[in-house]
Structure 1
Amino acid sequence: MIEGAVYFLCALTSVACAFILLRSYQRNRTGILLWSALCFVGLALNNILLFVDLLFPQVPLQLWRLLPALVGLMLLIYGLIWDLV
């Protein structure tokens, strides 16, 4: 069950990063902070669903746990391109 602890700590780290980035965005209003925070929200959801998938292996959650990560990374890529323009 060590992998469960690792997945839980990864989820906790992603949530903490998203919180720190959102708090920093509220202070500075820099676009890249917003896009990075939204990416980490998606990654945190991915990690939470990965932990849930480990707890309930009979329920297929692969698609549902990959979608938040995909959306988060797409938002980050969009934000990086948008800030260059």
Structure 2
Amino acid sequence: MMAVLIYSLCAITCLAAFALLLRAWSATRTRLLLWSALCFAGLTINNILLVLDKLVFPTEVDLSTWRLVTALVAVLLLLFGLIWEEE
């Protein structure tokens, strides 16, 4: 029961950060905000896959590879944005 709450709160927090960053980007058009929003979109997908992997399909399906790929893509998006904005 506690795992459901923790995993869900993590997913909701990432979704809220994504929404707030996207709203700030649409107001200011600062590219770093867009890259950060895309990173949190990937982290939201990662957390949703975590919920599916650990709680919905604990023995039937192994989503650990997909979780790692989404986390890697999310962090690479942020890294690319940070490097892009440095120039």
**TM-score (ref. length: structure 1):** 0.96
Secondary structure of the residue aligned to 2:58 is coil
The runs of 5 or more residues in structure 2 that have no matched partner are: none
Q: Answer yes or no: is 1:7 the counterpart of 2:34.
A: no
- Whole-angstrom CA distance in 2 between matches of 1:16 and 1:49: 17
> What whole-Å deviation, never above 9, does each CA across 1:43-63 have from its counterpart, x for those lacking one?
111011101111211110001
Q: CA RMSD in A?
A: 0.7
Residue 77 of structure 1 corresponds to: 79
How far is 1:66 from its partner? Answer: 1.5
Residue 46 of structure 1 corresponds to: 46
> 1:4–1:54: 8 Å Cα contact kept in structure 2?
no
Q: Which portions of structure 1, spanning 4 or more consecutive aligned residues, are displaced by more than 4 angstroms?
A: none
* Aligned ranges 1:15-30 → 2 under 5 Å: 15-30=15-30
How far is 1:4 from its partner? Answer: 1.5
- Identical aligned residues as a percent: 53
Secondary structure of the residue aligned to 1:14 is helix
- Whole-angstrom CA distance in 2 between matches of 1:84 and 1:54: 39
* Aligned ranges 1:49-64 → 2 under 5 Å: 49-55=49-55, 56-58=57-59, 59-64=61-66
> What whole-Å deviation, never above 9, does each CA across 1:12-42 have from its counterpart, x for those lacking one?
0000100110011001000110010000001
- Whole-angstrom CA distance in 2 between matches of 1:14 and 1:3: 17
The runs of 5 or more residues in structure 1 that have no matched partner are: none
Give the AA of the match of 2:82: L
